[in-house]
A and B are shown apart, each in its own frame.
Chain A
């Protein structure tokens, strides 16, 4: 259910690298940057030219697409490293203090999720298509959907990275 493994979480909890991600200030900057990337990904659904550009027979759009994908995945991975995977860890891999931190952050994540749902519904109302991978000329909502899924997956880690001083 948590989508992670014991080895993965234990590795993150003992991780000694990525010292630049340990200070709260750097983590907050990182969270803002990552949120910006997700917003940019979602905006892809609203530019017809964007979709047409990807359809052009050239290597540049392909490289841009790969770069965006890698940037999003790298952001997600680094976010997990910055909070040592606590947000996704199951109870049995955490001690009482870590469980308490995780659960309290989930409360704020759930409240924030309400705003995310409202924004998503508004975006969907003004999106050119509600189907994610349509072939229509107007573009489609797939970028909004990808952004929503990444936001859902990252939100607890983002909240934790933002709130906690020492992890």
Chain B
């Protein structure tokens, strides 16, 4: 792996540090876990609802439906008023923000804020997200071939999809994250 620091300019909302779960193991007269430290280390700082897979999956599903709705509107000739667009944008933004919160902004955090397990988790989902976005771009280009679209209407869905996909996949697939 490269030893040089790779400089990349990117917005990261992460300001705090993660509480890293630590398991202390004594090696000697038989290995045993120090239960007190283990329980303390595994305590999550997130609220209860945010650690439940079902809640995260519900958020991810809502976000998925919102993205589908935004894309459908953008690719069709339907014209909505600004209150409808504002409401859709707000729901999408709030859902994404909640999902982001439940995953502690893992995807936007630099290596310094994560331990090895979280780095591995983040990178694994980056791989899947890139593949999904690639597939999505191909679908979009094939749609553009047949439709006479106004490119200005594609900004919101394109950027919303790009920002959402890593958290969407995490929310739908990652069961053990607290």
| A positions within 8 Å CB-CB of B | 1-2, 97, 100-104, 106-114, 117-118, 121, 124-125, 127, 130-133, 145, 148-149, 152-153, 155-156, 163-165
Contacts and interface: CB of A to CB of B under 8 A. Distances in A.
Contacts of A145: 141, 144
B98 interface: no
A117 B158 contact: yes
A106 B123 contact: yes
B177 interface: no
Contacts of B144: 130-132, 145
23 contacts: A2-B131, A97-B1, A103-B124, A103-B126, A106-B127, A106-B130, A108-B8, A110-B126, A110-B166, A111-B8, A113-B133, A114-B162, A117-B158, A121-B154, A125-B151, A125-B152, A130-B148, A145-B141, A148-B137, A149-B137, A149-B138, A152-B137, A156-B130
B60 to A, nearest CB: 18
A110 B144 CA distance: 23
Contacts of B17: none
A121 B151 CA distance: 7
B74 to A, nearest CB: 12
Given A107-B123, A130-B148, A149-B141, A1 B2 contact: no
Contacts of A106: 123, 126-127, 130
Interface of B: 1-4, 6, 8, 10, 119-120, 122-124, 126-127, 129-131, 133-134, 137-138, 141, 144-145, 148-149, 151-152, 154-155, 158-159, 162, 166
Contacts of B149: 130
Looking at chain A's contact residues, the main secondary structure is helix
Contacts of A112: 8
B126 to A, nearest CB: 4
Given A100-B120, A130-B148, 14 more contacts: A104-B123, A106-B127, A107-B123, A107-B126, A117-B158, A117-B162, A121-B151, A121-B158, A125-B151, A132-B141, A132-B144, A149-B137, A155-B130, A164-B2
B122 to A, nearest CB: 7
B123 A163 contact: no
Given A100-B123, A132-B141, A121 B2 contact: no
A113 B130 contact: yes
Contacts of A1: 131
B1 A124 contact: no
